Amino acid sequence: MTANLLDFDLEGLAVFCERLGEKRFRATQLFRWIHQKGASEFDDMSDLAKSLREKLKAHAHIQSLPVVSQHLSADGTIKWLFDVGAGNAVEAVFIPEDDRGTLCISSQAGCAVGCRFCSTGHQGFSRNLTTAEILSQLWFAEHFLRKHLKVSERVISNVVMMGMGEPLQNYSALVPALKAMLDDHGYGLSRRRVTVSTSGVVPMMDRLSIDCPVALAVSLHAPTDALRDSLVPLNKKYPIDELLQTCIRYLAHAPRDFITFEYCMLDGVNDQPEHAELLIGLVQFHARQGLRCKFNLIPFNPFPASGLLRSPQERVQAFAKQLQNAGLVTTVRKTRGDDIDAACGQLAGDVKDRTQVKARIAQQRMIMLRAVNEH
């Protein structure tokens, strides 16, 4: 089996080239062809010697994930479902905004953390994605959008690891993918614009701060351990105080001077004035030790199996106001793409029927080709 070059960051590709008896700088050329130009055929890489192209053809390939479906939302959000084999699929969502284009990508098929309010968590864990599978989502989306929009400059300016899965439970595949996103010869994204979202895998947060410090979002969701234990089971292993101490350590390395706390608003569960009060106390206490943070309140996207409901809008606003009045910077996340089930926690890519997957991929290829040709 030949190597999929989407599996490498630049350093990994340099090692691969050396093993083929090539100079390391060839890797830079190759990396630029793949990630900046979106090439998937070695014959298109016109400035590489024919002998090298032949060698690459014998030992390597550039293979993105097959697309099962593509949905365009009324607000411009696009959701892609990618086939990752064995009846599993993962999703990526592109969210266009006036001043940026954000891609939300997945790190695992399913998730082992099992948060009560998350449909990915309810699905259980299937497997970790490889670096190639993580990076494929960006590679495909970026070059698809460029073709579609007929532009040569970058379309995706921000990447958030907020799709399916817990990125810090797939650390060894995650880090090379992040490095390729940041690399000037790759996507050249700023560290501030690449965000890892975690439910709080404490040891890996520390490692990330050293190996590849990017912006960090932490899914807090509750002000007390008793409540967080019931929502985010990982809290039993890494309770709130330990998590916040880790956030403080992370800040010393972080590209931004704050951590974003995500807080999913669940009707009657964590959205009462007393919860806001406890949260304020908690943050103020840790602020004395150096914690700097912002809150992002996420309206819960309900799904039947959760047995939970979305907090009414007025309650979300009142909660936000209470935090703001105490001096905590707080925003309420706009739900985007909920008409195509692309909103947070709605990403449940379980594809059971393999034959159907194949048919859908074939059909989708046709639709995409048509879309690209029409624009």
Residues that bind ligand SF4 (CB under 6 A): 111, 113-115, 118, 120-121, 165-166, 199, 219
Shortest Cβ distance from residue 222 to ligand SAH (Å)? 11
Give the 3-state secondary structure of residue 159: strand
Q: Note whether 187 binds ligand SAH by CB under 6 A.
A: no
Residue nearest to ligand SAH according to CB distances in the complex: 345
Closest CA to 102 of 93, 111, 91, 110: 93
Give the 3-state secondary structure of residue 45: coil
Residue 101 touches which member of ligand SAH, ligand SF4, none, C-beta under 5-8 Å by kind: none
Q: Note whether 91 binds ligand SAH by CB under 6 A.
A: no
Shortest Cβ distance from residue 186 to ligand SAH (Å)? 22
Residue 64 touches which member of ligand SAH, ligand SF4, none, C-beta under 5-8 Å by kind: none
Catalytic residue among 17, 104, 115, 344: 344
Closer of 112 and 332 to ligand SF4 (Cβ): 112
Residue 223 touches which member of ligand SAH, ligand SF4, none, C-beta under 5-8 Å by kind: none
Closest CA to 27 of 38, 45, 12, 6: 12
CA distances from 59 to 21, 52, 130, 136, 340 (A): 12, 11, 19, 19, 40
Active site residue 54: no
Bridging pattern class, strands 3-4 and 60-61: parallel
- Give the x-and-dash track for 331-350 against ligand SAH (CB under 6 A): -------------xx-----
Tell me the helix, strand and coil percentages in the chain, rounded to 5.
45, 20, 35
Closer of 62 and 231 to ligand SF4 (Cβ): 231
Catalytic residue among 91, 133, 142, 262: 91
Closer of 229 and 277 to ligand SF4 (Cβ): 229
Q: Note whether 264 binds ligand SAH by CB under 6 A.
A: yes
Active site residue 91: yes
CA distances from 366 to 112, 143, 351, 355 (A): 35, 17, 20, 17
Residue 162 touches which member of ligand SAH, ligand SF4, none, C-beta under 5-8 Å by kind: ligand SAH
The pair of structure tokens assigned to 31 is 């990396």
Distance CA(351)–CA(349), nearest Å, equals 6
CA distances from 312 to 265, 269, 317 (A): 9, 12, 9
Give first-to-last CA distance, the chain, whole Å: 37
Closer of 130 and 197 to ligand SAH (Cβ): 197
Give the 3-state secondary structure of residue 67: strand
Closer of 22 and 262 to ligand SAH (Cβ): 262
Q: Give contact residues for ligand SAH (rule: CB under 6 A).
A: 117-118, 162, 166, 197-199, 219, 262, 264, 298, 300-301, 344-345
Which sequence positions are flagged as catalytic? 91, 344
